[in-house]
C-alpha cells in the first residue's frame, strides 16, 4: 500500500535515506513519520528489488523552448567539453595496476597484493567496497544522463556532442568499477558474493536524483557528484598510504584524477548555462540544494541490512572519507567556481535563490555541528561485505 502526504509518496519501506536524517526538512520529516506506520512487506514479494522510499517523480520540468539552448550549444560543447575526454590510447586501464595473469610472476604478485591488504582494517574495506559498488552501478548513471531533455543520446550511437560525451564518459567511468572490483577480489578480504548481490540489487533499484529530465538540474547534479567522488577516492588513497599500501593508494588516486577531469567538464557546462541563462541556472541550483543532492548509491541493499546505505555512509563519515562537511565544502566550492556571489542583473526570484545558495554552506555546517553535539554513540553494525564482522559506525 502506498501512502500519500503532500507531494511525498511513501512506498512500503523500512529505510530512511541517510541524507534525510542528517538535514531533515519538514516534508521529509512527515515522510519519515509515515514511514514508521507504512506496511512492511520486506523484500520477499519483490525479490528483484529492495524495499525503498521514493518521492513523486517530477518529469520534464524544463520548458520545451529551452531545448533549443542545448541544440545551439552543440558546437560549443564539441570545443569545450569533449576536449576533457582522454583518447583511449592515452588512458590507463585496470590491467596497468593489477597482477599480470599471463606472467610467470602472477602468483607472486597476487601474494604481495594480499600481504599488503592484510595490514588494512575492515572499516577501510567497507568504505572501499561501498565506493566500488557505487562505481559498478554505472548503467544507472548512463541511463540518468539519457533521461535529460535536449542532450540525451537519441539512438545509442548519436553523433551530437552531448551524446558523444555521455558514451565516452561512461566508457571512462567503466574502468573505475572494473579496477576496484578486481583489486577487491584478489585481496581476499571481502565477501565477493555479498558484494555482487549488492551490485545486482542496486542496478535493479536505479536512483532517484530528482533531476526531472532537466539538463540544468542534471548537470548541477553531475558537477556535485564528480567532485564528491573526487574527494572520496582521494581520501581512500590517502588512507591506503597511511596503511602502507602504496599500490592501492595509486589505484584510488588515479581514479580520483579521472573524477576531477569529469568535474571540470560538468562545471564548465553549468558555467556556460550561468552565462547564457543566469536566472534559470541559479534557481536550478537552489532547487537541487533544497531537494538535497542524493548519493548515487542511496538505494543500496545487500539482501540483509535494511539500512545499508546509512551504515556505509556512517563509516565513510567516521573515517573522514566522505563527510557532511565535505557536502558543505562542495557547495561552497561550486558557488565560488560559478562566481555566484558576484552575479548581478537577476530577477527577484533569482536574487533570492542566489542568497539562499550563498548562505547554505554555513547553515549546513552549523546544523551539522549541532547534530554532532547531539549524536549518541551507536553500537557496531555487522557488514555482510566483510563476512558479517561488526564495524563501528
**How far does CA 126 lie from the centroid of its chain?**
16
Three-state SS string over 71-108 comes to HHCHHHHHHHCHHHCCCHHHCCCHHHHCCCCCCCCHHH
**By the 8 A CB rule, do 126 and 196 touch?**
no
Query: Which entry of 8, 134, 222, 229 is annotated as an active-site residue?
Result: 229
Establish whether 173 is a catalytic residue.
Answer: yes
Query: Which entry of 20, 176, 233, 311 is annotated as an active-site residue?
Result: 176
**By the 8 A CB rule, do 10 and 31 touch?**
yes
Establish whether 172 is a catalytic residue.
Answer: no
Helix axes 122-136, 161-187, angle to 10 degrees: 150
In this chain, which of 53, 136, 153, 173 binds Fe ion, going by CB under 5 A? 173
Cβ of 349: how many Cβ atoms within 10 Å?
Answer: 12
Q: Is the Cβ of residue 94 or residue 350 nearer to Fe ion in the bound state?
A: 94
* Number of residues this chain uses to bind Fe ion (CB under 5 A): 7
- Write the binding mask 248 to 277 for Fe ion: x where contact by CB under 5 A, - elsewhere: -----------x--x---------------
Establish whether 263 is a catalytic residue.
Answer: no
Q: Is the Cβ of residue 43 or residue 225 nearer to Fe ion in the bound state?
A: 225
8 - beta bridge partners?
Answer: 5
Cα–Cα dist 111/250, whole Å? 18
In this chain, which of 19, 20, 152, 176 binds Fe ion, going by CB under 5 A? 176
What is the closest distance, in whole angstroms, from the C-beta atom of residue 95 to Fe ion in the complex? 18
| Intra-chain end-to-end CA distance of the chain, in Å | 33
What is the closest distance, in whole angstroms, from the C-beta atom of residue 142 to Fe ion in the complex? 12
Q: Is the Cβ of residue 173 or residue 279 nearer to Fe ion in the bound state?
A: 173
Query: Which entry of 92, 196, 243, 277 is annotated as an active-site residue?
Result: 92
Query: Which entry of 226, 263, 279, 305 is annotated as an active-site residue?
Result: 226
Cα–Cα dist 59/41, whole Å? 28
Establish whether 102 is a catalytic residue.
Answer: no
Cell of 49: 528489488
Part of the chain binding Fe ion (CB under 5 A), chosen from 41-49, 156-164, 168-176, 288-296: 168-176
Describe the chain by its helix, strand, coil percentages, rounded to 5.
65, 5, 35
- Write the binding mask 197 to 226 for Fe ion: x where contact by CB under 5 A, - elsewhere: -----------------------------x
| Residue 136 makes contact with Fe ion by CB under 5 A | no
Cell of 199: 551490485
Cα–Cα dist 347/284, whole Å? 14
* Closest CA relative to residue 115, chosen from 127, 124, 107: 107
Establish whether 262 is a catalytic residue.
Answer: yes
Which residues belong to the annotated binding site for Fe cation? 135, 173, 176, 226, 259, 262
Cell of 156: 545509442
Part of the chain binding Fe ion (CB under 5 A), chosen from 42-50, 131-139, 196-204, 296-304: 131-139
Query: Which entry of 262, 267, 279, 281 is annotated as an active-site residue?
Result: 262
Establish whether 135 is a catalytic residue.
Answer: yes
* Catalytic annotation, residues: 92, 135, 173, 176, 226, 229, 258-259, 262
Q: Which residues bind Fe ion (CB under 5 A)?
A: 135, 173, 176, 226, 229, 259, 262
Amino acid at each position: 500500500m502506498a501512502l500519500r502526504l503532500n507531494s511525498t509518496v511513501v512506498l512500503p519501506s523500512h529505510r530512511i535515506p541517510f541524507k534525510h536524517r542528517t538535514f531533515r526538512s519538514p516534508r521529509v520529516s512527515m515522510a519519515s513519520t509515515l514511514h514508521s506506520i507504512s506496511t512492511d512487506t520486506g523484500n520477499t514479494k519483490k525479490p528483484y528489488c529492495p524495499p525503498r522510499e521514493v518521492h513523486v517523480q517530477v518529469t520534464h520540468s524544463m520548458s520545451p523552448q529551452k531545448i533549443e539552448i542545448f541544440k545551439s550549444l552543440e558546437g560549443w560543447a564539441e570545443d569545450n567539453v569533449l576536449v576533457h575526454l582522454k583518447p583511449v590510447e592515452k588512458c590507463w586501464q585496470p590491467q596497468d595496476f593489477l597482477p599480470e595473469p599471463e606472467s610467470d610472476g602472477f602468483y607472486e604478485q597476487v601474494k604481495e597484493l594480499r600481504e599488503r591488504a592484510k595490514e588494512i582494517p575492515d572499516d577501510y574495506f567497507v568504505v572501499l567496497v561501498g565506493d566500488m559498488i557505487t562505481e559498478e552501478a554505472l548503467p544507472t548513471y548512463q541511463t540518468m544522463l539519457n533521461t535529460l531533455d535536449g542532450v540525451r543520446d537519441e539512438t545509442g550511437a548519436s553523433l551530437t556532442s552531448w551524446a558523444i560525451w555521455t558514451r565516452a564518459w561512461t566508457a571512462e567511468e567503466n574502468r573505475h568499477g572494473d579496477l576496484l572490483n578486481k583489486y577487491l577480489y584478489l585481496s581476499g578480504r571481502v565477501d565477493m558474493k555479498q558484494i555482487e548481490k549488492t551490485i545486482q540489487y542496486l542496478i535493479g533499484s536505479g536512483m532517484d536524483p530528482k533531476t526531472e529530465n532537466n539538463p540544468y538540474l542534471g548537470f548541477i547534479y553531475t558537477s556535485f557528484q564528480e567532485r564528491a567522488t573526487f574527494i572520496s577516492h582521494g581520501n581512500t588513497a590517502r588512507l591506503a598510504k597511511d596503511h602502507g599500501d602504496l599500490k592501492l593508494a595509486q589505484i584510488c588516486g588515479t581514479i580520483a584524477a579521472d573524477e576531477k577531469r569529469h568535474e571540470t567538464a560538468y562545471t564548465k557546462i553549468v558555467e556556460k548555462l550561468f552565462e547564457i541563462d543566469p536566472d534559470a541556472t541559479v534557481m536550478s541550483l537552489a532547487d537541487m540544494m533544497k531537494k538535497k543532492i542524493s548519493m548515487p548509491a542511496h538505494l543500496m541493499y545487500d539482501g540483509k541490512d535494511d539500512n545499508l546505505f546509512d551504515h556505509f555512509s556512517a563509516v565513510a563519515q567516521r573515517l573522514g572519507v566522505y563527510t557532511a562537511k565535505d557536502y558543505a565544502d562542495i557547495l561552497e566550492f561550486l558557488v565560488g567556481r560559478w562566481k555566484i556571489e558576484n552575479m548581478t542583473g537577476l530577477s527577484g526570484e533569482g536574487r533570492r535563490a542566489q542568497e539562499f545558495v550563498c548562505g547554505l554552506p554555513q547553515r549546513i555546517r552549523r546544523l551539522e555541528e549541532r547534530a554532532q553535539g547531539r549524536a549518541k554513540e551507536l553500537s557496531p553494525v555487522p557488514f555482510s561485505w566483510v563476512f558479517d564482522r561488526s564495524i563501528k559506525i
